Amino acid sequence: MAHNAQGKVWTYADDAWFEGDKGVLAPRHQAFWLASTVFDGARYMFGRAPDLDRHIARLMKSARILGMKPCLTEAEIATIAWQGIGKFADDADLYVCPIFYAEEGMVVLPDPDSTRFAMVVRESPMPAFDGFAACLSSFRRPARDMAPTEAKASCLYPNVARSVGEAQEKGFDVGVILDPSGNVAEFSYANLFMVKDRVVTTPVINGTFLNGITRQRVMQLLSDDGYHVIERTVDFDELRTADELFATGNYAKVSPCTRLEDRTLQPGPVATRARELYFEFAAKA
């Protein structure tokens, strides 16, 4: 699940495009010191940007949850995204990251009228389907009354980073994160699926982790392909006896977990099929 180094990058800020990075924050800005920043990520592949509209809609929702007022419409953001995509080769693999942030506000909600927009579009080759290693994390997801868990908010990611750092110190790639009740939530930064006797199970959305857009798409694709897909509470010990474990997320789409603590697994047929189905969908989206 390791992220590749950046290649070519274009940044949209202050109503213009800039090659490479473009500074937008000052130390006094609320987003700089109070983390009033939300973002989303969409993929461009096969000449398509699958579910771009859903990523933009989630960005708008995230901004409102943090007290910001989106300063562009969904249609305007989509237009900017396609402008950025057009700066790359048609066959490029890209990551499209729109951002809202606030400039004004003290230790309260940000001033909604100070909301600003930026976007980063960068080259990002699809990772190989070669698997990752995971272990149980000592860090947990916060509940919805502890943090803005229903937003894709930057302030949530230090906790993600702690779980990744802990896992890597132990020789793994990511953690399996539990929710405040001790049930499985997800992998450090990707939604979790397990397969047992061809039944595909994923933790039920309970307000502690995002209902990923790729998660939703893969659930629908597998269901349409004849698999029994269910959402329910999952105990960590169930993962120890699963036939397959895999992750879904925007960056890699579908990735097999090939080691859970001291247990080795193989990339399984369901994860392989999920990836095939997703890429078939993406090529026609």
β-pairing, 199-203 vs 174-178, is: unpaired
Give pLDDT, residue 284: 92
| pLDDT, tens digit (0-9, with 9 covering 90-100), for 93-142 | 999 999 999 999 987 789 999 999 999 999 999 999 999 999 999 999 99
Q: Of 54, 87, 86, 57, whose CA–CA distance to 72 is shortest?
A: 57
Please provide the CATH number assigned to the domain covering 9-123.
3.30.470.10
Radius of gyration (Cα) for the chain, nearest Å? 19
**Domains 9-123 and 132-284 fall in the same CATH topology:** no
2 — pLDDT class (breaks 50, 70, 90): very low
102 to each of 78, 80, 214, how far by Cα in Å? 21, 20, 28
Q: What is the DSSP letter of 14?
A: T
| pLDDT, tens digit (0-9, with 9 covering 90-100), for 202-234 | 999 999 999 999 999 999 999 999 999 999 999
Please provide the CATH number assigned to the domain covering 132-284.
3.20.10.10
| pLDDT, tens digit (0-9, with 9 covering 90-100), for 66-77 | 999 999 999 999
| pLDDT, tens digit (0-9, with 9 covering 90-100), for 83-96 | 999 999 999 999 99
Angle between helices 74-85 and 52-65 (to 10 degrees): 130
Q: How far is CA 233 from the centre of its chain?
A: 21
Give pLDDT, residue 3: 46
| pLDDT, tens digit (0-9, with 9 covering 90-100), for 271-285 | 999 999 999 999 998
Using DSSP's 3-state secondary structure scheme, residue 53 falls into helix
pTM tops 0.75, yes or no? yes
Tell me: pLDDT of 46 over 70: yes
Percent helix, strand and coil across the chain, each to the nearest 5: 30, 30, 40
Query: Helix H segments across the chain?
Result: 30-34, 52-65, 74-85, 157-169, 213-224, 236-240, 269-284
Q: What is the DSSP letter of 277?
A: H
Using DSSP's 3-state secondary structure scheme, residue 65 falls into helix
In angstroms, the CA 69 to CA 91 distance is 35
Quickly tell me which residue has 């969904």 as its tokens: 74
Q: Where are the domains of the chain?
A: 9-123, 132-284
Tell me: pLDDT of 5 over 80: no
Q: Cβ–Cβ contacts within 10 Å for residue 107, how many?
A: 7
